[in-house]
Amino acid sequence: MKKMKSVISLLAASALLAGTIAGCGGNAGGNTASTGESTATESSASGATFKIGSIGPLTGGAAAYGLAVVNSVELAVNEINANGGINGYQVEMKGEDDELNAEKSVNAYNTLKDWGMQFLVGSTTSACSLAVSENTHEDNMFQLTPSASAADCVAYDNVFRVCFSDPNQGLASAQYIGSHKLASKVAIIYDSSDVYSSGIYQTFAQEAVNQGFDVVSAEAFTADSKTDFSVQLQKAKDAGAELLFLPIYYTEASLILTQANTMGYAPIFFGVDGMDGILTVENFDTSLAEGLMLLTPFAADATDDLTVNYVKNYKEKYGETPNQFGADAYDAVYIIKQCLEEAGATPDMSVSDLCEAVKGKIVTITASGLTSDTMTWDASGEPNKEPKAVVIKDGAYVTAE
Amino acid sequence: MTKKKFKDQFITYGIVIALYLIMEILMKTGNLSSHLKGLLVPMTYYAVIAVALNLCVGILGELSIGHCGFMCIGAFASAVFSKLTQNTLPAAPRFFLAFVVGIAFAALFGFLIGIPVLRLKGDYLAIVTLAFGEIIKNVINAIYFGVDSKGPHISLNNVMDLGMEPDGQVIINGAMGITGTPRDANFTIAIVVLLLSLFVVLNLMNSRDGRAIMAVRDNSIAAESAGINVTKYKMLAFTISAAIAGAAGVLFSHNITSLTATSQYFGYNASIMILVYVVLGGIGNIRGSVIAAAILYLLPEMLRGLNTYRMLIYSIVLIAMMLFNWAPAAIEWREKVAHKFIKRNA
Amino acid sequence: MLSKAFLVPYLQIFVGGNMSFLIYLINGLSLGSIYAIIALGYTMVYGIAKMLNFAHGDFIMVGCYVIFTICSTFSGNTVVGLIAAVILCTLLGITTEKVAYKPLRGAASPLAVLITAIGVSYFLENLALLIFGADIKSFSSVVSWQGLSFAGGDLKIQGVTIITILSSVVILIVLQLFIHKTREGQAMLAVAEDKGAAMLMGINVNKTISLTFAIGSALAAIAGALLCSAYPSLSPYLGAMPGIKAFVAAVFGGIGSIPGAMIGGLVLGIVEILSRTYISSQLSDAIVFGILIVVLLVKPTGLLGKKIQEKV
């Protein structure tokens, strides 16, 4: 009997809650402007609007990446609206949280679909984007992921990406190191529990054989043990590695650089696009990153007008310096805009028609944005752009020879 | 079985079937949002694993905080099977066999892990289940498995070690997991699995074996002196619980196409989330687990409108609900209020 | 008993001029000392309140952010930051106990308070996310001493490593003295033994439990300062994993036992580093947990745990 009561009370409490929440949810869905970070959208109540959705981890350990994506989409959309919209129509955006969870990412996708999304800029991470692509494919919705880099993410013909693929980055890094004869003994530290990191590591290690340098130590860490890197560094040092390849994000890399410094180990550090952001870590001693090389499409301190404006506006609005995730997302919105303008599309077209229109145009356009001056795509969904090799000098990126 | 118990069981099945019918009707008439539609299958498999965990925590009386490990095994075993037979078997028998494979593997691991785990007691048992859950996750993350014309290859290092022929297909690619599992799961199948799990657990509870299990829970020494084989019954309940968790895993891996053995799905955090369902639904109350799993899975999804405040609100609601449901003072207060209310109406 | 065949290769590494093994061992000790300090907090709370405070790891995170905020915005020095962190964490611990845990004392199931602790953990993590943002912040070490250098610079021991190891030893001694030599400590022992009997003897059980939470949380703040000095990266989720590992360490040493938590923490840290070095960096988590399982099978209540008495 007691149990019965507790169940009833649970039911009562939850029903009450669920009721009020469902009510709120319903209202929020009805209004064009939503809450939180998506409010800033100019609500253009009169007339149709384009609706761009974005998905990424906004809470949890990977929130820095998802927030960068969603915020940058919002920034781009606001700019576009201020400059007259796309084909004369205003644009709305909405970002949803997936907690780095593929299942929640699909939930987020469905939420956005209910809201009326026509294009998806997301998901931010590979496993999530892969799961969502199954749904966008079914609905034939155009999906442009800014940063999901696993090879399979763009398997469907309606999915394209802005960033480089993992195999592509692994290959490019190995070739760069080989052709510039940076080192003959290379050590790797990678995150074996992360799709992105192990993807790059795999192609890098495979390509190393062709490039005439030896991988003398390849040590992993996992999401559950990513504070202490003393072992991995000590092994690299003992193996006499002259170059340490770090196919990981700047969050862990900042720790590796600090720990390498305290143990007095100073090889050439070589990173990939996930390394971008290391100079903007609050309170980080940037002298530790001196000489760090990385292949990245974006540099937050570049001096071209586009980057300067983007970084300035982002900082003003969100109080942080954007990273390459954000830059890719910002470009993604403009790429969609360019395709829509080329196709002369209007918001009253169906999702599937819009997808076909954009799909037809993206393979013909040459886009220019934060992450490259000339980006082109083929039907495979992969972007064609040059990775830039930069080296950190005096706390800033300098183009490497 | 007494009439009352029969009625009680009937209510449980009734709630599930009624919910299913309502959702189906809403779906058929187009009144269900895509968001809710997408939530139905996950909601159901979380209900399944909550039932499984309640069997372990409520009926057997042993706290497990690694149950998602069994879900992980079920998910990976069945996904590997489905990937291997994707081109040779038609969807229906393949998915059925995937269930058999997933459940069998989860049960096997449940049995093997149960042998050492059930020798321990209380919090020590709990921490060992957590340890096993983490080990399963960590090891699967390091497994590379592929098949080519020469047969299967397996490695614990990296994909290059597999030494595959060019015609080979990598099935489990370490941290990148399994991609492209056929999406065979749907709401109807999920509900059937839930009903079957309920049937197994409720019948077990009301059987001779079930009474023996509960006797072990209430007092293992007394049960032993009454001639009950304590180890056997503990193992029985634990293995069945793992098998049901495995079934939830099969649904999981056939509902989303990218399967990775990461913490957000199979780590201790995920296991604890299931434990939250069980505790809020009532320990030992199977129906409560189903309802609590459904409501608590929906809650953060319904809170999406709150954006970044969502998880903060969720945590506050969680604490408030725990205090309301379990605090002795709150229970007393509730009874007083209920009493007054009844009096006034009388 | 260790066989010679097992020891010899390690001794060779040791003596043969290669300092690697020694370096690994010291790193393990340093990591283990941090686990130990966190585990001390876990084990004290468990011993007295009989609850697993899953939010303990997040108290560490709160401590780190407090120090960070004070050092960077109020330009205070690290000592001020550390003191503020200890005070705030202590208050947080007492408040959490009063608001979220105490009402559930005497609940029908001990699981109720466990779940509430999870709720508190979610709450603190998400609050930190809202206040401080998701991006990591680099932490300036609270230890400015560079450390010692031996064998002509081949073997360097960082200042923070030495301070960490020393702090854990000092904390252990102080705690032991406090518990065995003071009235409050004796009261804690009594409450841990039998709450009801302690109450009958005139011990204020509520006050004793509050005090335990205060001490446990203060230890979390200190552990946080040391953790972030050794691994200077701040994020809202930084406490979760060290927290759970320290919990494993506490169980390993026998939960409720203070020397046990210390030994458990040190062993765990060393095992983690050495298994990563000599066996596999991918599987080191599995190995750590595997060893825990083996130890518990041999000693079902941990290394120094009390035997659970079964009553019929």
Give the pLDDT band (50/70/90) at residue A123.
very high
What are the structure tokens assigned to A42, written together? 């100019």
Give me the residues paired with residue A128 across strands.
none
- Tell me the pTM: 0.88
Query: How does pLDDT run across C260-292, given as a tens digit for each residue?
Result: 999 999 999 999 999 998 888 888 889 989 988
Over pLDDT 70: what percentage of chain A? Answer: 88
- How high does pLDDT run on average in chain A? 85
For residue range A224-280, list pLDDT tens digits in order. Answer: 888 889 899 999 998 999 999 999 988 899 999 999 988 889 999 999 988 888 888
Least reliable range by pLDDT among A246-250, C73-77, C106-110, C235-239: C73-77
List CB contacts (< 8 A) between C18 and chain A. Answer: 238
**Chains contacting B with at least 3 CB pairs below 8 Å?**
A, C
The model's confidence at residue A128, banded by pLDDT at 50, 70 and 90, is very high
Q: Which residue does chain B place closest to A116, by CA atoms?
A: B34
Has residue A126 got a pLDDT over 50?
Answer: yes
Task: Say if residues C88 and C104 touch (Cβ distance below 8 Å).
Answer: no
The three state secondary structure string of chain B is CCHHHHHHHHHHHHHHHHHHHHHHHHHHCCCCCHHHHHHHHHHHHHHHHHHHHHHHHHHCCCCCCCHHHHHHHHHHHHHHHHHHHCCCCCHHHHHHHHHHHHHHHHHHHHHHHHHHHCCCCHHHHHHHHHHHHHHHHHHHHCCEEEEECCEEEEECCCHHHHCCCCCCEEEEEHHHCEECCCCCCCHHHHHHHHHHHHHHHHHHHCCHHHHHHHHHHHCHHHHHHCCCCHHHHHHHHHHHHHHHHHHHHHHHHCCCCEECCCHHHHCHHHHHHHHHHHHHHCCCCHHHHHHHHHHHHHHHHHHHHHHHHHHHHHHHHHHHHHHHHHCHHHHHHHHHHHHHHHHHHC
Residue A265 lies in a domain: yes
- CB-based contact, A399 to chain C, within 8 Å: no
Q: What integer pLDDT is reported at residue B4 of this predicted model?
A: 78
Q: Is C85 on the interface with B (CB under 8 A)?
A: no
Helix axes B268-281, B34-54, angle to 10 degrees: 80
Range of the domain at A361: 26-164+303-385
Q: Assign A22 a pLDDT band (cuts: 50, 70, 90).
A: very low
Average pLDDT of every residue of chain C: 86
Verify cis geometry, omega within 30 degrees of 0, for the bond prior to A123.
Answer: yes
**Helix axis angle, B122-141 to C284-298, nearest 10°:** 150
State what percent of residues in chain A have pLDDT above 90: 55
Same domain membership, residue A263 and residue A394? yes
From A232, A259, A263, residue closest to C281, measured CB to CB: A232
* pLDDT for residue A39: 38
- Considering the domain architecture, whether residues A238 and A144 belong to the same structural domain is answered as no
> Are A123 and A151 in a shared domain?
yes
**What DSSP string describes A126-164?**
HHHHHHHHHHHHHHT-EEEESS--SGGGG-STTEEESSP
Q: Is A12 part of a structural domain of the chain?
A: no
Cα(C232)–Cα(A281) distance, integer angstroms: 11
Does residue C12 belong to the interface with chain A, where contact is any CB pair within 8 Å?
Answer: no
DSSP chain C: ---HHHHHHHHHHHHSS--HHHHHHHHHHHHHHHHHHHHHHHHHHHHHH----TTHHHHHHHHHHHHHHHHHHS---HHHHHHHHHHHHHHHHHHHIIIIIGGGTT-S-THHHHHHHHHHHHHHHHHHHHHH-SS-EEPPPS----EEEEGGGTEEEEHHHHHHHHHHHHHHHHHHHHHHHSHHHHHHHHHHH-HHHHHHTT--HHHHHHHHHHHHHHHHHHHHHHHHHHS-EE-TTTTHHHHHHHHHHHHHH-TT-HHHHHHHHHHHHHHHHHHHHHT-SSSHHHHHHHHHHHHHHHSTT-SSPPPPPP--
Contacts of A255 in chain C (CB under 8 A): 231-233
pLDDT band at C66 (very low <50, low <70, confident <90, very high): very high
C-alpha angle with apex C123: C119 to C128, nearest 5 degrees?
155
- How many C-beta atoms lie closer than 10 Å to residue B224's C-beta? 15
Q: Could you state, in order of their start, the residue ranges of all structural domains in chain B? A: 41-302
A-facing residues of B in 59-78 (CB < 8 A) are: none
Per-window interface: A 92-131 vs B, CB < 8 A: 96-97, 99-103, 106-111, 113-114, 126-128, 130-131
A242 and A347 share one domain: no
Where residue A192 falls among pLDDT bands split at 50, 70, 90?
confident
A117 assigned to some structural domain: yes
Higher pLDDT, A399 or C200: C200
Cβ–Cβ < 8 Å for A71, A317: yes
In this prediction, residue B346 carries a pLDDT of 60
Q: Which residues contact C3 (CB under 8 A, 6 or more apart)?
A: none
pLDDT value at residue B337: 87
Q: In which region does residue C177 sit, left (phi positive, over 0), alpha (psi from -120 to 50) or beta (all else)?
A: alpha
Q: Quote the pLDDT of residue A34.
A: 35
Does A318 map to a domain?
yes
**Residue A341 and residue A368 share a domain:** yes
Same domain, residue pair A159 and A42: yes
Which residue from A212, B258, A55, B323 is spatially nearest to C107, judged by alpha carbons?
A: B323
Residue B205 · residue B27 · CB < 8 Å: no
The mean-pLDDT minimum among A29-38, A40-49, A89-98, C129-138 falls in: A29-38
C225 and B CB contact within 8 Å:
no
* Contact criterion met (CB below 8 Å) for A332 and A377: no
Q: Please report whether residue A314 resides in a domain.
A: yes
CA separation for the pair B260, A223 (Å, rounded): 13
The answer to whether the Cβ–Cβ distance between B315 and C310 falls below 8 Å is: no
The yes/no answer to whether this complex scores an ipTM above 0.90 is: no
Q: What mean pLDDT is predicted for residues A129-140?
A: 93
A145 and A34 part of one domain: yes
- Whether residue A381 has pLDDT greater than 80: yes
C289 touches chain B (CB under 8 A): yes
pLDDT tens per residue across span C83-109: 999 999 999 999 999 999 999 988 888
Total structural domains within chain A: 2
| CB < 8 Å from B in window 363-392 of A | none
Give a yes or no: residue A233 inside a domain: yes
The confidence score (pLDDT) of residue B41 equals 94
Does A23 have pLDDT greater than 60? no
Pairwise CB contact (< 8 Å): B299 & A195: no
**Topology of B41-302 in CATH?**
ABC transporter involved in vitamin B12 uptake, BtuC (1.10.3470)
Decide if C235 touches A, using CB distance below 8 A. Answer: yes
CB of A29 within 8 A of CB of A115? yes
Q: Do B312 and C244 touch (CB under 8 A)?
A: no
Which residues of A are less than 8 Å from B307 in CB distance?
34-38, 58, 97
Interaxial angle between packed helices A230-238 and A250-262, expressed in degrees from 0 to 180 and rounded to the nearest 10: 60
Question: Does residue A318 sit in the same domain as residue A336?
Answer: yes
Picking from C123, A8, A57, the residue whose alpha carbon sits closest to that of residue B318 is C123
Task: Name which of C52, C286, C294 is nearest B133 in CA terms.
Answer: C286
List per-block mean pLDDT (blocks of 10 residues) for chain B, which spans 346 residues: 78 93 91 90 95 94 92 96 91 94 97 91 86 93 88 83 81 88 92 96 91 89 89 94 97 91 88 92 92 92 82 91 89 86 72
**Radius of gyration (Cα) for chain A, nearest Å?**
22
> CA-CA distances (angstroms) from residue B154 to A109, B105, B168, B171?
35, 18, 12, 10
CA–CA distance, B230 with B284 (Å, rounded to integer): 19
A25 band by pLDDT with thresholds 50, 70 and 90: very low
In this structure, which amino acid lies at residue B187? F
Q: Which residues contact B227 (CB under 8 A, 6 or more apart)?
A: none
Please indicate whether, in this complex, the C-beta atoms of A227 and C231 are within 8 angstroms of each other.
Answer: yes
| Domain shared by A35 and A150, yes or no | yes
Pairing of strands A268-271, A119-121: unpaired
What pLDDT is recorded for position A363? 93
- Token output for A146: 């800014």
pLDDT for the residue C308: 58
Window A:117-146, CB contacts with C under 8 Å: none
Q: What is the CATH number of the domain that holds A36?
A: 3.40.50.2300
Q: How many CA atoms lie within 13 A of A344 on its CB side?
A: 0
Q: Which residues contact A203 (CB under 8 A, 6 or more apart)?
A: A166, A167, A168, A169, A170, A171, A174
What is the mean predicted confidence (pLDDT) over C60-69?
Answer: 93
Q: Can you tell me the distance from the alpha carbon of A361 to that of A340, in angstroms, rounded to the nearest whole number? A: 8
* Span A298-348, pLDDT tens digits: 888 788 899 999 999 999 998 888 888 999 999 999 999 999 999 999 999
Question: A119 and A30: one domain?
Answer: yes
pLDDT value at A40 more than 60: no
Residues A143 and A76 placed together within one structural domain of the fold: yes
User: In the structure encoding, which two tokens stand for residue C171, read together?
Assistant: 């904390």
A151 and A54, same domain (yes or no) = yes
CB A141, CB A355: distance < 8 Å: yes
Chain A closest-CA separation from residue C220 CA (Å): 17
Mean pLDDT of A374-400: 86
By CB atoms closer than 10 A (0-12, 13-18, 19+), residue B169 is: exposed
Residue A14 lies in a domain: no
**What spatial distance separates the first Cα and last Cα of chain B, rounded to whole Å?**
35
Q: How far is residue A10's CA from residue B289's CA, in Å, rounded to a whole number?
A: 11
| C244 interfacial to chain B (CB closer than 8 Å) | yes
